Structure formats: C-alpha cells, structure tokens
C-alpha cells in the first residue's frame, strides 16, 4: 500500500488535527465564533469525519475515487441550514491549511511530496462533496417551500384564520409588504419547485414580495409591496402558461388577501366568456362574467356599487342608461327618446362613468352596466338605497 506509514501517522493524529482546525477557525473566522455551541460541535464532528475520510481516500491504493458525501452525515441538514456554502468552503480551507502545515510531521521520510499532492486532490474532492450536499439541501428546501406556499395560498382561498396565515407566511420569509393582491393564471407545467424559483427570481428584480402556489393547472401569485399589481403581472406574464391571467383587488394586508384570491380565482374561471379580455385582466373588469357564472360577491358589487349607485345619484342616470342600451348605444337616438339635447346625454354618460367606473361608450363596460341593471331588478327585496 502506498504511503502506508504516512497513513498510520495521520490516523494517530486525527483527533489533534480536528481540534487544531476548529481552534484555527475560531481565531481566523469571526462569524464562526458567533455560532451557537451546538453548531460549533457539529463543525468539530464534520472535521473529524473529514480527516477519517482523507485516510480512507489515501487507502484506496491510488485509485483516489470521488469523496463520499457521507463525510457530512454528522450534521447534513442542520449544517446546511445554519452555515452557507461560502462559509463551508472557508471551513474546509482552514482544515486543509492545518493539515498541510503538519505535512513534515505526518509524512514518513520521502513521502512529503506525495502527501502534499494528495492533500490538494482531496481538497478538490471534498469541495465537490460539499457542493453536492448543499445542492440537495437546496432542492429539498425548494420542494418544502413550494408545498408550504401552496398550503398558504390554499388557506387564502378557504378563508383560514388570519393569524395562521401570517404564521405560515413568516416561516417563508414574508416581510409583511403591503398592499397585497392575488393573481391567477394557468401553470406553465413542470416541477412546482422550479416554477417557484423562476417566479421568485423574477420578482426580486422587480422589487416586490411574492408567495406562489401551484394548484392543479393553476399558478397563483400573492404579490406584496405594489399598488399596481397589473403592471407587475404584465411583466411576469411569461411565467404563466397560455390563457387568461386575472388580477384580484389590492388589500391592506396579507390576512385580508383572501377576498383578492377569491375574486382572482372567480375571474380566472369566468374570463373565457370575454375572449378579447386583456392579459392580465383585473377581476373588477370581469364582474358581469363572474356574476353570470354564479359569483355571489360579484352580483352584490353590481347590485350595490352600480345599480344602487345610479339610483342614489339621481339626475335620470338610470333612465338614461336604460334608454341608451335600448337604442343600441346610439347617443342621438337616446337624446330623441328622452327629448333632450345630445350634449345632455354626453354629460349624463360622463356622470355614469364617474359614479360606477364603467363607461357606456365602451362595449364591454356597457355589457357590464346592462348585467348590473338586470341583477338590480332581479333582487327587489335587497336594500339598494344604502
């Protein structure tokens, strides 16, 4: 066996080498000194395992196979979570430096050069092993984050308790950025963890917080820190699959975002009824389609915020909208039917837009107004004068 005498020397000095390595880390790495005692103990265990792995590697009779990742089994998950890959490389470098300094004492006569070369090759292999461990930890963490975010989004849709939602969000690193809105579109397909990674990378560049959930064939984004979610989602549209993307209304905080999530989900389901809808489309522009699809909240909004608002505004606004619709959207025809000047109709239409947010001169808005008036009259028992 090559380096037989040297290997025996290293085996005898294994404990001392590990102790000296940790002492060097303590003196040269300020962040290492700040680690809790249990994590420092983990590093000691890994250092001892590393020396043992070096001995086994040397005993491979010159084949020098890749170092097994088992060298990190002393603290595989905890170490990867508490110490970054960059810091781990620094720890490895310190340990290798300590071993190299001991080459004159460890190497048998005439084997110093061979031992030095072996240390260099082993340091490369141990660095690769560390990278593999961290890569697996990142994949596992990514999969777990994807599941946890999916649970949080599911909780928003179900209307779970606000404190519970806040706790889940905090576990995911949510900074409580406000306001908050929810968007729904088709998932691009593939692994949820990969989709999550792509979304987070894109939103970091845009300076917004995000929580992501993949529910069946749907991709759901919870955006925080932007009052203009449609602009953000427009820039993120390429991360969705084909089809409509619906943006829910902004809410003051995450614990109230369930209403945004339900509106976005309802809008996503109803969007095919408006083939020419923009992408993304606000859920507020799909009130008519949502109401026709059975969304009771959309019906309530149309009844109270559109039909009742026109009644409260007076000034013949409701009658004017009715007549405008009946005449096929012809302004002059509406004026003749009501025996007023066309400019009066123009003024009233501007007032309708101010009161309801929908313009009778825009075809889809006119459709929404017509559905609102129909719903308002179908629910005569409802108090629409509030």
Question: Each residue of 235-275: pLDDT tens digit?
Answer: 999 999 999 999 999 999 888 888 899 999 999 999 999 99
Please report the pLDDT score of residue 263 as a whole number: 95
pLDDT band at 1 (very low <50, low <70, confident <90, very high): very low
Residue 332 Cα distances to 143, 318, 365, angstroms: 62, 17, 19
Domain regions of the chain by residue span: 4-139, 159-291, 295-378
Q: Does 1.10.10.2840 match the CATH number of domain 295-378? A: yes
Percent of the chain, pLDDT > 90? 38
Please report the pLDDT score of residue 126 as a whole number: 73
Please report the pLDDT score of residue 35 as a whole number: 79
Quick one: tokens of 86?
């960059």
Asked whether the predicted pLDDT for residue 206 surpasses 80, the reply is yes
Judged by phi (left if over 0) then psi (alpha if -120 to 50, else beta), residue 6 lies in: alpha
In 3-state terms, what secondary structure has residue 357?
coil
Query: Who contacts 176 (Cβ-Cβ below 8 Å, separation ≥6)?
Result: 166, 169, 224, 253, 254
The CATH number, out of the four listed (3.40.190.10, 3.40.50.11740, 3.30.70.2730, 3.60.15.10), of the domain defined by the range 159-291: 3.30.70.2730
pLDDT mean over 80-102:
72
Please report the pLDDT score of residue 295 as a whole number: 95
Asked whether the predicted pLDDT for residue 97 surpasses 60, the reply is yes
**Residue with the two structure tokens 């020098």:** 64
Q: Return the number of other C-beta atoms located less than 10 Å from residue 370's C-beta.
A: 17
Model confidence pLDDT, tens digit, residues 22-81 = 888 888 888 778 878 777 777 777 777 777 777 777 777 555 555 555 555 555 455 555
pLDDT mean over 131-142:
59
Judged by phi (left if over 0) then psi (alpha if -120 to 50, else beta), residue 110 lies in: left
pLDDT mean over 188-208:
85
pLDDT mean over 221-238:
92
The mean predicted confidence, pLDDT, of the chain is 81
Model confidence pLDDT, tens digit, residues 371-386 = 999 999 987 655 555 4
């Amino acid at each position: 066996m090559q380096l037989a005498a040297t290997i025996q020397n290293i085996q005898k000095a294994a404990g001392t080498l590990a102790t000296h390595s940790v002492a060097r880390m303590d003196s040269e790495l300020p962040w290492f000194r700040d680690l809790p005692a249990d994590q420092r103990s983990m590093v000691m265990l890994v250092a001892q395992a590393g020396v043992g792995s070096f001995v086994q590697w040397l005993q491979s009779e010159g084949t020098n196979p890749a170092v097994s990742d088992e060298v990190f089994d002393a603290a595989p998950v905890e170490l990867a979570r508490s110490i970054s890959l960059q810091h781990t490389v620094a720890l490895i470098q310190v340990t290798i430096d300590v071993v190299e300094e001991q080459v004159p004492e460890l190497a048998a006569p005439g084997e110093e050069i061979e031992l030095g070369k072996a240390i260099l090759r082993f340091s490369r292999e141990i660095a690769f092993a560390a990278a593999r461990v961290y890569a697996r930890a990142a994949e596992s963490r990514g999969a777990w984050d994807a599941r946890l975010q999916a649970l949080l989004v599911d909780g928003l849709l179900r209307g779970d308790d606000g404190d519970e939602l806040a706790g889940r969000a905090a576990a995911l690193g949510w900074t409580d950025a406000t306001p908050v809105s929810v968007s729904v579109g088709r998932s691009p397909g593939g692994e949820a963890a990969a989709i999550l990674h792509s979304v987070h990378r894109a939103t970091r560049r845009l300076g917004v917080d995000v929580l992501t959930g993949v529910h069946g064939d749907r991709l759901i984004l919870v955006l925080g820190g932007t009052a203009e979610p449609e602009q953000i989602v427009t820039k993120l549209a390429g991360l969705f699959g084909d089809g409509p993307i619906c943006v829910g209304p902004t809410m003051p905080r995450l614990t109230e975002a369930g209403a945004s999530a339900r509106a976005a989900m309802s809008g996503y389901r109803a969007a095919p009824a408006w083939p020419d809808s923009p992408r993304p489309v606000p859920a507020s522009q799909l009130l008519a389609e949502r109401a026709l699809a059975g969304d009771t909240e959309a019906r309530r909004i149309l009844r109270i915020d559109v039909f009742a608002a026109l009644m409260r505004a007076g000034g013949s606004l409701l009658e004017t909208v009715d007549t405008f619709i009946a005449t096929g959207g012809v302004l002059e025809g509406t004026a003749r039917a009501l025996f007023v000047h066309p400019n009066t109709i123009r003024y009233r239409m501007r007032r309708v837009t101010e009161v309801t947010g929908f313009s009778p001169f825009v075809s889809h808005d006119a459709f929404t107004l017509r559905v609102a008036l129909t719903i308002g009259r179908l629910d005569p028992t409802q108090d629409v004068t509030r």
